[in-house]
Structures are given as structure tokens and as C-alpha cells.
Structure 1
Amino acid sequence: MHRLHHRDGHTGWDRRRAPRRHVDPGDTVELVLADCFGGQLGPDATADAIAALDLARANPLTGPVAVPSAAPGDTLTVEVLAIETGPVGWTALIPGFGLLADEFPDPHVVVSSLTDGTVDFGGFARLPARPFLGTVGLAPAATGEHSVIPPRRVGGNLDCRDVRVGATLLLPVEVPHALLSVGDPHAAQGDGEVCGTAVETSATATVRIGLRRGGDLPAPQLELPAGASSPHGPRLVTTGVGPDLYAAARDATRAMVDRLGTDHGLAPVDAYALCSVAADLRIVEVVDAPNWVVALDLDLTVLR
């Protein structure tokens, strides 16, 4: 078991960043994660506190973790074993951010209490806690430092609510040693994250790192076994990431067709038809400009 704390973390992706730990495939890592605001909000947060946020401190990451045997073209796997959230969550409207930013220009915050698997959302709604990791990604091949806010081919700020306990996230490796970082834990979120934030919180997460040779994935993918993460049976989720939702939807569908051929021997035409009748196309995230995330979600139990 390796352990890492967000005080040893960073903001921004950079392939030159020195790793904080070196791990082997099969190792587990416990990660203490800050909330996406970097600890700037308290349980009595107000709109004034949102207006005063230092956004340069947003989405701090814990890592990077190096896997010395990982090489470009490989697939890094991140199996989520546990997520323990903090006691408080925040959902903020940040001026200029979110799907309807032009219609909701003023700062606002809803503070949630997280207890016994429940989110008390501002005292006016109650929903089940469904914690997941909003940001899980690898260093991109492009040189220089890159913002954490937009998701990308190597993962990052996907805000995909399926990256929860039991799920295995597959990420394409672009640089030697992969350089994995994690952050942005959420207690709950709907697909799209339309106001720009989920129930943002701190958390301690435990993940198991794996490595698959080759694969050269076009974008992140998720494998979910039957159980708490996938009550209806094992699922496969493929994604498309980019600035055009239509193109991203095509990419997610194309990736599913490819996986059904590789893993299950389906002809492309049959896989494509199956996607049309059995898979759900979802907008996972539509607020982290300039890239959006679309997912195609298939319950694998339909296969004979």
C-alpha cells in the first residue's frame, strides 16, 4: 500500500513533473484528496465566499504516481476500491461557468451535509450519496503545463459519475511511466454537471493500479462489474472527448463497436446495430470548456 496526500500534489498536467511515488502493476494507493476548491470553503460558505474564490487553486490533484513499466500505447487501469468522503459538500454557481452561465451570472452556493450515505442538499432536498472521483488522468504527451479543467484523451476532469467503487477506469498512456494524478471527489452528481459543480467534497480514496500492454485507446473507457456500481449486470462504458458533442458521440459509438468486435467477436455491422437497441448515449459533462464528454453505456448481459 502506497499513500499520498494532496499537500504533496499539484495543479496542472505536465509530463515533466517529478513523480511522488513509483508503483508496480497490482499495487494499491491510498490518496487523500482535497475538494475542488482547494479547501477555500467552510461549512458556512456564502455567495461572498464563492465570489472571493481563487480559481488558480481549483481542482488540486494528488500525485503524480509513476508506473515505470508503462509506455506510450499501453493502457493504465485504475480500479476504485474505496472512497470515504468528508462531512460537508458544496455546489457552487461560479460567474461565467456552467451551461446557463449567461442566465445565472451571480455567485451562489448550496451547502450539503453528508451523513450515513445521504446528501442533505441545502435543507431542501435529500438524495443518496454516490461518491465518485471527478478527476483521474495521466500526463499528456504535449509539452508544457496544461489546465486541469478540461478533460482530454488521457482522462483528467471527466466528471463521470461511474468512476465509483467497483469500477475500473481504462486510460491511454501517452508518456513513459504514465504519471497518474487524482482529485476532485464528488458525493453526488447528475450527468452533465450542468451548473458546473457537483456535490464537491474532500475524500480519501483507495485505488489499485494495473497495466495492459498495448490497446492504444482512443479515449477513456470504463468496465463495471455487476454489483453496487452496476446493479443490472456488468457494463462497458466508452467515451468521446472533445469540443463537439456530435463528434464525441460518434467517437464513443465507434469505440464501443471496436470493443464489441475485439472482446466478443461481433462483426462491426452487428455491433453497431446492437448499440442502437441496447446502449444508452449520455452527456457525461458539458461544462468544462473547451472539451465535453459523451459516453455510450452498454449492459453486457444482453450478449449471449
Structure 2
Amino acid sequence: MCQHCDYTIHGAHHHGWDHSIPPAETVAPGSRLHFKCLDSSGGQFDKDSTTADVSHLDFGKINPVTGPIFVDGAQPGDVLKVQIDAFHPSGFGWTANIPGFGLLADQFTAPYLKIWDYNPETMAPALYSDLGRVPLKPFAGTIGLAPAEAGLHSVVPPRRMGGNLDIRDLAAGTTLYLPVEVEGALFSVGDTHAAQGDGEVCGTAIESPMDVEITLDVIKGEKLAFPRFSTPGPVTRHLDAKGYEVTTGIGPDMMQAARDAVSGMVDFLGRTKGISAEDAYLLCSVCGDLRISEIVDQPNWVVSFYFPNVVFE
């Protein structure tokens, strides 16, 4: 239990956005809460899981979030200020290639699973077999509010009120601002990750159950079309130390350019590091970054993929 928290939220998990879901708790603005979050499989994988278990994944249990929290005074047209205070990692994680999912789903059609074991106290870089060590940076992949539109909505796609944003910089110290669509805001959080690259290209990061401490507040009458956030400092320092190898994709279709950039890196890592395409793809997802390098020189755009050399040091 967090000594500084006003509430602990556990056992209140849901698998879709729906403003009719009863609140797990009603809190005053400025309250600090301790959320016990599941991983994105909803606990279907453990340290003994193997690639064979990927084929038996129950997608009805995917991406559970903890909540919702009704914040007194929050009304449509307001903004919920979400101060991300701390993470308490578990030390267990997984990354998978799930057939039909991911940027290169047509190239990686077979299931593949990697189980991670990391130190939750030191958060030292996590060993990926004997291939390399991945620097860790915990964050919540799914963090958002209930939509105004009635009914149950999938938790998988992100929305204007947040949700499955998968922004790795929503780490401890960051403040996120979300547009409120319903009374009480109805905030939920989950899908916690120990590390992820920008793009999460294979569809999964280091998926890891962990606890999250968050302070919720209300900003009245501030118009906000989409989420925004402020970071407390540099966001890539954990990756920058040894520089990067970079591949690019260029063409009139930005999605294809992104695919080409990632495919180029998978090939490069296989050729230079002697690792399998599957391992390269998963590593790209947990620590490599997709970036839009140029979007003005029509008709062709440039997408770059940055892979940190520190992984192999």
C-alpha cells in the first residue's frame, strides 16, 4: 500500500470503454491513487509460458484496465489532469508476435514468445537471452477516460479521450491531460510495460503487470481536442549513450515507408548480429523508435527507424 495514497484500486478490471460501468471509487480532485494493474494478456502468460501458449490466447481477456474512477466535479468540456507519480514493477514480463497483429504481420505469420525476468528494484537493463540487454522505462500503455458515446467500445484502438495510447514517455514524472467527455471523467489505467520503442512495431512491448500511483485533478473549462502531456526532462537518455543504427523507408505511402524502415532494420540486425528475424522483430518493438523524418517534400515522405547500440554493449 502506498503511504502517500488516498485509495488503492484492485480487482476492478474491465475490458472495454463504457460510461455505464459503475465506478470502482469516487474521489475528490487532487486525490492520489494506487492502481494494481494487470499485463495486457490479463494474466494469461507466466514465467513458464512458451510460444505454444500464444495460440491459446483468449482475446476476450486482452488489455484489461483498472477502474473506472469517478472524479467529483469533472464535467464534459473539462480536462482531467493525470499526474503519473510512480511505478512499482513486478520483475516479470513478456513480448510476443501474435499472428495477424503488428506492423509486419504479413511477414511474421507464426507465433513467437519471449519471457523476461528483470530486477524490479534496480530496474537494470533486462537480458534478452544472450543477445543483448534492453534498458527499461516503465509506463502505462493504456490510460484514458470513458467516451460519451453509449455502449461498450474496444479498449484496443486509442481515442480522443486517451485509451491505448502506447506512448512510452507517459512514465513517472509525466503529466497527462485528457479531454473529459462524461460526468466524473471515469478514469482507468492498465496495459503496463517495462519498456517499449516508439511504434511498438510487433504489437507488444515488454508487457508486465505492475502497480501505478497517479494523482487526478480537474481543470475547469479548458478546451482540449486530443491528449497532451508534459515530461519532466529528457525522454531517451536511457537509450542514447552509444548512438544508433538507422534504416529508412521512403515513398508516397507513409505506412509503407514505416514498414520498409522496420524491415530494413530486421534484416540489418540479422546480418550484423547473427540473430533470427523473430528476435530482431521483437527487439525492434521493445527498444527501437520509428520517427517521421520528413513529411513536407511531396510526393515522398521519409520514415526512419532508430535502433540503440547500447542494447548490444
Instruction: Give the structure-1-normalised TM-score.
Output: 0.74
Distance verdict in 2 for CA 1:128–1:151, change over 3 Å: same
1:35 aligns with 2:42: no
Partner Cα separation in structure 2 for residue 40 and residue 202 of structure 1? 11
Aligned to 2:216: 209
Partner Cα separation in structure 1 for residue 54 and residue 89 of structure 2? 21
Tell me the amino acid that sits aligned with residue 181 of structure 1: S
1:93 aligns with 2:97: yes
1:81 aligns with 2:89: no
Distance verdict in 2 for CA 1:64–1:282, change over 3 Å: farther
DSSP 3-state at the match of 2:14 = coil
Tell me the amino acid that sits aligned with residue 173 of structure 1: V
What pairs with 1:111-150 in structure 2 (closer than 5 Å)?
111-115=115-119, 116-117=122-123, 118-150=125-157
Native 8 Å contact 1:114 1:129 kept in 2: no
Aligned to 2:57: 53
Native 8 Å contact 1:83 1:204 kept in 2: yes
Native 8 Å contact 1:224 1:230 kept in 2: no
Distance verdict in 2 for CA 1:48–1:17, change over 3 Å: same
Tell me the amino acid that sits aligned with residue 37 of structure 2: L
> 1:123 offset after TM fit, Å?
3.8
Partner Cα separation in structure 2 for residue 140 and residue 53 of structure 1? 27
Aligned to 1:24: 28
Among candidates 220, 225, 231, match of residue 218 of structure 1: 225
What pairs with 1:225-264 in structure 2 (closer than 5 Å)?
225-226=232-233
Aligned to 1:184: 191
**Count of aligned pairs:** 236
DSSP 3-state at the match of 2:16 = coil
Aligned to 2:66: 62
Among candidates 188, 207, 226, match of residue 200 of structure 1: 207
> 1:88 offset after TM fit, Å?
1.2
Aligned to 2:174: 167
Tell me the amino acid that sits aligned with residue 176 of structure 2: L
Native 8 Å contact 1:96 1:102 kept in 2: yes
> 1:230 offset after TM fit, Å?
8.0
Aligned to 1:255: none
> 1:221 offset after TM fit, Å?
0.4
Aligned to 1:155: 162
DSSP 3-state at the match of 1:179 = strand
> 1:90 offset after TM fit, Å?
0.5
Distance verdict in 2 for CA 1:50–1:213, change over 3 Å: same
> 1:216 offset after TM fit, Å?
2.2
Native 8 Å contact 2:29 2:72 kept in 1: no
Partner Cα separation in structure 2 for residue 128 and residue 76 of structure 1? 31
Unaligned runs of 5+ in 2: 1-5, 238-252, 256-289, 293-313
DSSP 3-state at the match of 1:101 = coil
Partner Cα separation in structure 2 for residue 15 and residue 97 of structure 1? 28
Q: Which runs of 4+ in 1 moved over 3 A?
A: 228-231
Partner Cα separation in structure 2 for residue 98 and residue 122 of structure 1? 22
The CA deviation string for residues 176-208 of structure 1, in whole angstroms up to 9 with x for no partner, is: 100000000000000000000000000011001
Q: CA RMSD in A?
A: 2.0
The CA deviation string for residues 76-114 of structure 1, in whole angstroms up to 9 with x for no partner, is: 011111101111110110010000001101110111111
Distance verdict in 2 for CA 1:230–1:209, change over 3 Å: farther
Aligned to 2:7: 2
Distance verdict in 2 for CA 1:245–1:11, change over 3 Å: farther
The CA deviation string for residues 38-59 of structure 1, in whole angstroms up to 9 with x for no partner, is: 1111112211111111011000
> 1:282 offset after TM fit, Å?
4.7
Tell me the amino acid that sits aligned with residue 197 of structure 1: T
Tell me the amino acid that sits aligned with residue 73 of structure 2: S
The CA deviation string for residues 106-141 of structure 1, in whole angstroms up to 9 with x for no partner, is: 110111111121222244220221000100000001
Unaligned runs of 5+ in 1: 232-243, 247-280, 284-304
Native 8 Å contact 1:166 1:229 kept in 2: no
DSSP 3-state at the match of 1:141 = coil
Partner Cα separation in structure 1 for residue 129 and residue 65 of structure 2? 27
Instruction: Give the structure-2-normalised TM-score.
Output: 0.72
> 1:225 offset after TM fit, Å?
2.3
> 1:9 offset after TM fit, Å?
1.4
Native 8 Å contact 2:137 2:194 kept in 1: yes
